[in-house]
């Protein structure tokens, strides 16, 4: 866990659209790009272009927070919590409250 890794992780989480993508992938893993676009609309949020969502997913993927699996022509995305827990161990944990239960 280098300083650059922490940069990428915090930067990825610093955007509300990306945090919503994380939340949707936590609720249901293995979603395609189109499913994630539709999910935004389903939650009553402003529609996002496919390219915009794709670029957000790239940011999350480069931070290691999203893992990708191809199934034919469909790219399935799922949450990867390892880097976040590593960030907690490497830096964030010093400053966080101990989690209650």
Which chain residues interact with DNA by CB under 7 A?
A: 11, 14-15, 17, 32-34, 48-52, 54-56, 59, 72-76
In whole angstroms, the minimum distance from the beta carbon of 78 to a second copy comes to 13
DSSP string, 34-62: HHHHHHHHHTTPPP--HHHHHHHHHHHHH
Could you tell me the two tokens for 84? 């976040």
**Region binding a second copy by CB under 8 A among candidate stretches 29-37, 44-52, 70-78, 84-92:** 84-92
- Tell me: does residue 11 bind a second copy (CB under 8 A): yes
Rounded Cα gap, residues 32 and 72, in angstroms: 12
């Amino acid at each position: 866990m280098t300083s650059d890794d922490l940069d990428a992780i915090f930067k990825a989480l610093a955007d509300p659209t990306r945090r919503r993508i994380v939340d949707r992938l936590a609720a249901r893993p293995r979603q395609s790009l189109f499913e994630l676009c539709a999910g935004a609309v389903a939650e009553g949020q402003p529609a996002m272009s496919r390219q915009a969502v794709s670029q957000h997913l790239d940011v999350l993927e480069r931070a290691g927070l999203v893992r990708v699996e191809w199934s034919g022509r469909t790219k399935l995305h799922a949450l990867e919590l390892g880097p976040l827990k590593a960030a907690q161990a490497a830096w964030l944990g010093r400053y966080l409250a101990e989690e209650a239960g």
